[in-house]
Structure 1
């Protein structure tokens, strides 16, 4: 995954890669994504098929198991107007069905540096 190569080789940021064989299997990774956001707090870059997006967060209902992902489309090139960006779907809460069910996906999860005290 190109983004992890750039992060690791140019910025010295280690990444964990999560491979999902089919978009329909993405929901099985919900707790792993929640754990990443709780522990690392960094956005997750996702690529697969012809898509590339950034996952910024997870909304998970413990009682029902329902969940959605806060997704940013990094391809937006317009003016910095939040109303336009949200209304046109460039950022927003997406259901798991947003992902192509038959495509594979690689999720690049940047890890925060581990600080060692001396």
Structure 2
């Protein structure tokens, strides 16, 4: 059974400082188990992709009629159809990363993505201006994936002082009790850059959506 999807779960979280840029318009929070499928341990990339697809469809105000946010199975089937994965991928519990998310964004909602490869969490600071410009000009959620830190997550904003990222974590499972509960457990949080793993690379997937 599907659980109720919440929108703008970041809205009551105060920024940690100044020079803040955040997503524009509504963000729907897709997370583990939100469609009745228990994808704990492998579905975080899929859920962030669903959040990104929903954001694009919400912007189109009818122009995207006939399109819907893809299911986990539809995402797997698309990756097979595009030749990125073997037939055995459908129905598996294999995770996806930023590259798969980028080609699925193009496949499902016809939005290309820019991927930024960050060789170490310690170097995220070098890309803050790019993220700031992305939220200022485009305003779409960004996906963040890594290797040692392999828990995919969404980025909904940046703060320059102190340097922090607004993280939307898809690892919540089941119904949401309240916004304070999400905040207390770090499912939605402003994370200082120095809390990201220096021994992990990160790939950032930035949708290049253009408003009509």
TM range (shorter): 0.7 to 0.9
Distance 1:97 1:67 in 2: 9
Match of 2:43 in 1: none
Distance 1:105 1:68 in 2: 15
Which residue of 159, 162, 182 maps to 1:59? 159
| TM-score of the aligned structures, taking structure 2 as reference length | 0.50
Match of 2:188 in 1: 91
Correspondence list, 1:36-47, <5 A = 36-47=134-145
Distance 1:113 1:60 in 2: 25
**Whose RCO is larger (CA < 8 A, sep 6+)?**
1
Please, which runs of 5 or more residues in structure 2 have no aligned partner?
A: 1-98
Distance 1:18 1:3 in 2: 13
Match of 2:197 in 1: 100
> C-alpha root-mean-square deviation of aligned residues, in Å?
1.3
Query: Which one has the bigger strand percentage?
Result: 1
Largest Rg, 1 or 2: 2
Q: Which runs of 4+ in 1 moved over 2 A?
A: none
**Contact 2:138/2:210, CA 8 A, preserved across alignment:** no
Compute the displacement of 1:68 (Å). 1.0
| TM-score of the aligned structures, taking structure 1 as reference length | 0.87
